[in-house]
Structure 1
Amino acid sequence: MRPVVILRPEPGASESAARAKRLGLPPRLCPLFEARPIDWDAPPPGAFDALLMTSAQAARLGGPPLDRYRKLPAYAVGSATACAMADAGFLAVVPGDQDGSAIAARIAADGHRRLLHLGGTTVASIEAGPLSIRHVAVYTIGEKTEVDLEPLLEPGAVLLVHSPRAGSRLASLIDTQRRSNLHVIAISAAALAACGSGWASGEAPDQPDDERMLALAARLCE
């Protein structure tokens, strides 16, 4: 069976590996990045109508200052982020199954106007519409300096790419001559585009979700 190579940072990498095993897929972990908390100044919660997180890492690494925002209506992009927010003590998190712009439209439709977005130092752009959005970075993603993909790249391997940044780094690590017998499944169209061309196949699920990515991988691995 074709191996599934998981490139996302921990702890998400191990979570994806556990899901892969439940599907009978053989996971191989090779995180290209690692998430690290950073010091951040928590703005007054009264300045906002709602809270948004677009990454589970924000809930995992935001630390004690997150307590200030528990009374705000909470929104998340993706089920993994919503679960991480629930684990961090946020109640009744509203999940969105598309991207930051889609959940921003939902937040505006719910009547909110002043939005606090907690995320990483690098985030995808969000179409604000009528919202006033303040982004505050609570973590950073750094490249792992020692990455050895070669032992994992057997013919037919399926590479899981969870962000455009990971796609760009993957493209820099594997030249076009090596790609023709490797498959890519990316979390979004943007992440897939960042991987470049020349792969045996490339797909993205209709919604940015790890389980949907693994469902696509399972079809390739049959």
Structure 2
Amino acid sequence: MTASPPLIVTRPEPGNAATVERARAMGFEAFAMPLFDARPVDWTPPRAGDYDALLLTSAFAARLAGQGLAELASLPVHAVGTATARAAEAAGLTVAMTGSAGAQRLLDDMTSANIRNILWLCGQDRSEFSALDVAVVPLPCYAVDPVPPPAGWTELTAAPAILLAHSMRAARRISDLVGMRRDHLSLVAISPAVAAAAGTGWRDLAIAEQPDDVAILAQARALWHKGTK
């Protein structure tokens, strides 16, 4: 097999380093190019008894929520992706369900299970969900702020490369930064919604089979193999 194309990892830390390490172990020439920085924000925990479950769509909610998270420990957690589930467990929470097909599917499964009052610990910038017959109360406990592209971004994206988009905001930011001259670049999105946010015109646009790091890197490897044929 030929040498791997550069793999550009855009997610914030600490996830960026973990993805880069995993990618390099797979043989990729991986570059840490975080386009965002995550930070905690002030929040006040509500009364846990007012809710049936806690929805977490990002590991940042568990990592950055701080001491207030302990007041919600009685709520069963429904998490999107294994990384979020692991972060929740590390924070002392009990994970009742781990979604493997995105936030909307997980919310639909919660609705089917007659879970009606849901507290969503989220970021200040968040996606919207279709939540019929249930009450989903968003409570921001962290923020993810854009940062300037790291040194080397322009040179890396000027040549063929594979980029990873772990969120809709990342997909939009990548799209804005590379502009319309992108037919030499391949992008792997962690979900169909993220792929849609990336737009068109890529050399290849692939979607991870599950919303986790293992799946997104598996798709990147598939593109690598495709490029050697």
Question: Which TM-score bucket, shorter chain as reference?
Answer: over 0.9
Aligned to 1:180, the other structure's residue is in SS state coil
Shift of 1:157: 0.9
Alignment of 1:216 onto 2:216: no
Q: Write the distance in 2 (CA, Å) between the matches of 1:24 and 1:93.
A: 35
Deviation track 1:115-145 (CA, whole Å, cap 9, x = no partner) reads 1110101112222222211110000110103
* 1:173 aligned partner: 177
Q: Say if 1:82 and 1:93, in contact at 8 Å, map to a contact too.
A: no
Aligned amino acid, residue 151 of structure 1: E
Picking from 14, 18, 21, the partner of 2:24 is: 21
Q: CA deviation at 1:146?
A: 4.9
Write the distance in 2 (CA, Å) between the matches of 1:130 and 1:112. Answer: 10
Q: Distance in 2 between matches of 1:146 and 1:159?
A: 13
Point out where structure 2 has 5 or more consecutive residues left out of the alignment.
none
Alpha-carbon displacement from aligned partner over 1:151-191 (angstroms, at most 9, x marks no partner): 323633100011111111111111222x1211111112222
* Counterparts of 1:49 and 1:98, CA distance in 2: 22
Give the whole-Å Cα distance in 2 for the aligned partners of 1:24 and 1:194: 28
User: What is the match of residue 44 of structure 1?
Assistant: 47
**Contact 1:117/1:134 (8 A) holds in 2:** yes
8 A Cα contact 2:34 2:149, kept in partner:
no
For residue 209 of structure 2, give the secondary structure of its aligned residue in structure 1. coil
The root-mean-square deviation of aligned C-alpha atoms, in Å, is 1.5
Q: Residues of 2 paired with 1:26 and 1:203: CA distance?
A: 19
1:35 deviates by: 0.6
Of 20-29 and 102-111, more deviation after overlay is shown by 102-111
Taking only the aligned residue pairs, the percentage that are identical comes to 36
The question of 1:206 aligning with 2:200 is answered no
5+ unaligned residues in a row in structure 1: which ranges? Answer: none
Instruction: Provide the rounded CA distance (Å) in 2 between the counterparts of 1:69 and 1:47.
Output: 11
Q: 1:97 aligns to what?
A: 100
- 1:128 corresponds to: 131
Q: Does 1:143 align with 2:146?
A: yes
Contact 2:75 / 2:94 at 8 angstroms: preserved in 1?
no
Superposition pairs of residues 146-157 of structure 1, within 5 angstroms: 146-148=149-151, 149-153=153-157, 155-157=159-161
Number of residue-to-residue matches in the alignment: 221
CA contact (8 A) 1:86 1:93 kept: no
In the alignment, is residue 110 of structure 1 matched against residue 99 of structure 2?
no
| Alignment TM-score, normalising by the size of structure 1 | 0.93
Instruction: Measure, in 1, the Cα distance between the counterparts of 2:117 and 2:13.
Output: 32
Is residue 163 of structure 1 aligned with residue 167 of structure 2?
A: yes
Alignment of 1:69-108 (within 5 A): 69-108=72-111
Q: Does the Cα contact within 8 Å between 2:45 and 2:72 map onto a contact in 1?
A: no
